[in-house]
Amino acid sequence: MDYGKAYLFLTRKPKTGYTNLLMATLLSLIPVVGPIVIMGYMTIVAEWLLKDEKRERYPDLSFEWFMDYLKLGLWPFVTGIIIAVIFIPFYMIIGVGAFAIGITTDEPILLVVISVVGSLLLGIFLSVIVRPMMFYSQKVQKLDFKGSLRFTRQFLKIVGGKYLITIILNTFVSMFVIVVGLLVCFVGLYPASAIVQFAYEHLFIQLYDEYLKRGGEPLPEVNLPPQLAFRGYPHGPQVPEKADHDDSEFR
């Protein structure tokens, strides 16, 4: 897994990388609509990354395509919300159980330990399940729980071990990025969160690529508007485009 590229590809784009980060950060501040638009934009980014051998080309974020982003991000957003709601009772069970054990044993520290450990483990399990299901909705552009569960089972069967390790390692990497953002007068928290979100998408694309190489059933391509569709290399996909910046660290 290339964590360096996952966390750097967004801002490494010549001339417009930091502009895209700034716009994504501003969108994230808009309640409900903002996250949907970002998911729609990431759907387009994912399609470009899957077609780019170097996994670093992506289109600029533009408010001109706001409604297209909104439409593309709706179903993965709804899928994520539904799954989150389904898991709420499990978090309540952990809280009630921790409280009961803490009171029964007269050890308040157990309440904290059980709550933290239980929530962390459930959060990891939720991450393992929710991302493949959202990716499926992102690709098929509809709410299909049966299909998303089938894809998730196949995905976990083929690359589940590597996926779990990636989630655990990325948890620590993302925490470091968030802490760095907090140190920048707290304002840096917002762009740091955006970087983490796009990095997770990039890492999942890497895992999906591994899934396909191991014989996994491919999901359909997203039917993007012509203006947002991937533009191939001038001389074919095997010939890298001429870079106007130093990308040696990605090689």
CB of 143 within 8 A of CB of 79?
A: yes
Mean pLDDT of 145-152: 90
Lowest mean pLDDT among 49-53, 98-102, 219-223: 98-102
pLDDT category at 189 given cuts 50, 70, 90 is confident
**Res 248 pLDDT > 50:** no
CB of 38 within 8 A of CB of 27?
A: yes
By CB neighbour count within 10 A (0-12 exposed, 13-18 middle, 19+ buried), where does 212 fall? middle
Task: State pTM to two decimals.
Answer: 0.78
How far, rounded to the nearest angstrom, does the alpha carbon of residue 189 sit from its chain's CA centroid?
17
DSSP state of 70: H
CB of 110 within 8 A of CB of 77?
A: no
- Cα distance between residue 20 and residue 35, in whole Å: 15
